[in-house]
């Protein structure tokens, strides 16, 4: 069964001088987050951007896929911390999301490094946000297996 999520944006003015707000309509998790062109291309000044929202989506999607992969392999994680850095750059064809670099640190009792790295790569390639970006955006993951005394 398909699941549909819905967000809304209200924009006022032109691209350069205008501004808007974005709302998570389906969940109500956030309302009227301010967005602007300058928040995308210069200093965010407390405003968000589609790229920041994409980074949040990619980090959360990856963490779920990674947790699932680890648990299916018999190594449920104690904790996972993921950050995603989405790069937005002006290319010949215009402004483009060019990469999403994931960094993950996790405490996973009983797993060996090779299996940990394999699970991280599989999550990078397999999470739905990665699959949506694949072929258009460079994807990477840097995974660090923590130790109990880390």
Q: Is the pTM of this model over 0.85?
A: yes
How many H-runs (helices) and E-runs (strands) does the chain carry? 4, 6
Predicted confidence pLDDT, tens digits, the chain (150 residues): 999 999 999 999 999 999 999 999 999 999 999 999 999 999 888 999 999 999 999 999 999 999 999 999 999 999 999 999 999 999 999 999 999 999 999 999 999 999 999 999 999 999 999 999 999 999 999 999 998 765
CB atoms inside a 10 Å sphere around CB 32: 11
Please state whether beta strands 19-24 and 33-35 pair in parallel, antiparallel, or not at all (unpaired): antiparallel
Measured in whole angstroms, the distance separating CA 11 from the mean position of its chain's CA atoms is 24
CB atoms inside a 10 Å sphere around CB 81: 13
Residue with tokens 């109500």: 28
Q: Which domains does the chain have, with CATH numbers?
A: 7-41 (no CATH), 50-146 (3.30.300.20)
The residues, ordered by sequence, that sit 6+ positions from 93 with a Cβ below 8 Å of its Cβ are none
DSSP 34: E
Please state whether beta strands 94-107 and 79-91 pair in parallel, antiparallel, or not at all (unpaired): antiparallel
């Amino acid at each position: 069964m398909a699941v549909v999520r819905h967000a809304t944006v209200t924009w006022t003015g032109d691209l350069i001088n205008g501004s808007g707000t974005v709302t998570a309509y389906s969940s109500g998790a956030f309302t009227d987050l301010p967005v602007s062109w300058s928040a995308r291309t210069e200093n965010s000044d407390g405003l968000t951007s589609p790229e920041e929202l994409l980074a949040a989506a990619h980090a959360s999607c990856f963490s779920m896929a990674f947790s699932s992969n680890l648990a299916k392999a018999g190594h449920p994680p104690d904790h996972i911390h993921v950050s995603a850095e989405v790069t937005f750059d002006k290319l010949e064809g215009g402004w483009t999301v060019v990469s999403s670099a994931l960094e993950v640190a996790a405490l996973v009792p009983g797993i060996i490094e090779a299996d940990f790295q394999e699970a991280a790569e599989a999550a990078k390639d397999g999470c739905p946000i990665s699959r949506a970006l694949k072929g258009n955006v460079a994807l990477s993951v840097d995974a660090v297996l923590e130790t109990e005394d880390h």
